[in-house]
Amino acid sequence: MRTSMRANKFGSMVNGRVILVTGGTGSFGKKFIKMTLTHFRPRKIIVFSRDEMKQWDMRTEFESLDKRGTLRYFIGDVRDLARLELAFSGVDYVVHAAATKIVPTAEYNPFEAVKTNILGAMNIITAAIAQKVKRVVALSTDKACNPINLYGATKLCADKLFIAGNAYTSKNDVRFAIVRYGNVMGSRGSMIPFFIEMAKKGEIPITDVRMTRFMITLKQAVGLVWESMTDCVGGEIYVPKIPSVKVVDVAKAVSSSAKLKVIGIRPGEKLHELLIGEDDSRCTYEYGNHYKILPMIYDWHESVKRIGKGKKCQDGFVYASNTNVSWIKAEQLKKWFAHERSENNSLRSSLD
């Protein structure tokens, strides 16, 4: 019932409208576009990304699904403000999924991570306001909560920029909101496809046997973006209620025969992840399938409209992967592998 209501609201909003997805050829972007094309009738969906080959491959992959000719492909980089402003012309809704997201990559290439994740966020905000986009939902990460690595720090900075962007909209009805979640099951460059590749060599590297992570499916991530797009007043961070997993259990689910090799925590890694820290609890509210962190600036956390029917979390509330009440076991992961094999390209290519 909840999913149906969320979808109906999103459908009423986007039918006949124009949506742009930055990083549209990525795992999330493709899933968002596939689900949106399947369930709704937007007038146009613009795939904004910088890799022409990925766009070409996506054209082929989505050819049978895009029977109405809804998809448009726009080569561009979020670092390029002029290109964004051109792409945003006539756009109603933006989903910002483009990012430099691999933790070690950001650690060793900090200038590039800052250019994409921080300056890119500034450009998205500026272009959206200039072109009078109605809504922008930006994807964040659990690593933005009390960050210890550069990737997390750049995404925290981007979150702050999107929140503050709501103060610069003037008379334009532009709203910026954020969705923050954990590891996406099977997404390109993530833990599961990496473990699958390593298992073929007979050995899976484990950084620490105690390590835990939050897990979310691409379908759940898309659903939360739909909900935030219809619900946001501006400045909210939406955090889904999702299970945790032990990294060791992921490795065991991938292969029961591969040897597990402990290699130690890599630069920028945490032992456990946070989605909501203790300091966030003062302005965090609980809902049926998610939490909402409201911004402290301008006393927006006291806004009745932003709070809605939420229940205030207790001071000191922490949403951490190691103390979560919901967990995925190795056997449940195996069932998920079987289900997703036919739907997720990155996982399927690794398994074949």
Q: Report the share of the chain in percent with pLDDT over 70.
A: 93
- Sequence-ordered list of residues with C-beta below 8 angstroms from that of 135, at least 6 positions apart, any chain: 92, 93, 94, 174, 175, 177, 229, 232
Domain ranges in the chain are 2-182+217-240+277-320
The reported pLDDT for the residue numbered 340 is: 63
The reported pLDDT for the residue numbered 28 is: 95
Cα separation, 45 vs 33, whole angstroms = 8
- Answer yes or no: are the C-beta atoms of 226 and 171 closer than 8 Å: no
351: confidence class by pLDDT, cuts 50, 70, 90: very low
The reported pLDDT for the residue numbered 347 is: 46
Q: Taking all residues of the chain, what is their mean pLDDT, rounded to a whole number?
A: 92
pLDDT at residue 129 above 90? yes
**pLDDT tens sequence across 90-114:** 999 999 999 999 888 999 999 999 9
- Sequence-ordered list of residues with C-beta below 8 angstroms from that of 210, at least 6 positions apart, any chain: 271
Cα separation, 178 vs 293, whole angstroms = 10
The reported pLDDT for the residue numbered 188 is: 74
**pLDDT top residue among 336 and 179:** 179
Per-residue pLDDT, averaged over 335-350, amounts to: 58
The reported pLDDT for the residue numbered 346 is: 46
Per-residue pLDDT, averaged over 155-173, amounts to: 91
Catalytic annotation present for 143: yes
pLDDT at residue 193 above 90? no
**pLDDT top residue among 14 and 351:** 14
249: confidence class by pLDDT, cuts 50, 70, 90: very high
Query: Which is it for the CA torsion 251, 252, 258, 261, positive or negative?
Result: positive
Backbone angles phi, psi at 101, to 5 degrees: -120, -15
The reported pLDDT for the residue numbered 256 is: 85
34, 143, 241, 270: which one is catalytic? 143
Which of 7-16, 168-177, 187-196, 275-284 has the largest mean confidence?
275-284
The reported pLDDT for the residue numbered 335 is: 82
Cα–Cα separations (whole angstroms), residue 141 to 259, 311, 313: 30, 23, 21
Of the listed ranges 119-128, 136-145, 252-261, the least confidently predicted one is 252-261
**pLDDT tens sequence across 29-52:** 999 999 999 999 999 999 999 999
The reported pLDDT for the residue numbered 334 is: 82
**pLDDT top residue among 348 and 111:** 111
The reported pLDDT for the residue numbered 2 is: 53
pLDDT at residue 16 above 60? yes
Which fold would CATH assign to domain 2-182+217-240+277-320?
Rossmann fold (3.40.50)
Per-residue pLDDT, averaged over 162-175, amounts to: 88
pLDDT at residue 306 above 90? yes
**pLDDT tens sequence across 322-334:** 999 999 988 888 8
- Answer yes or no: are the C-beta atoms of 55 and 61 closer than 8 Å: no
Per-residue pLDDT, averaged over 145-174, amounts to: 93
7: confidence class by pLDDT, cuts 50, 70, 90: confident
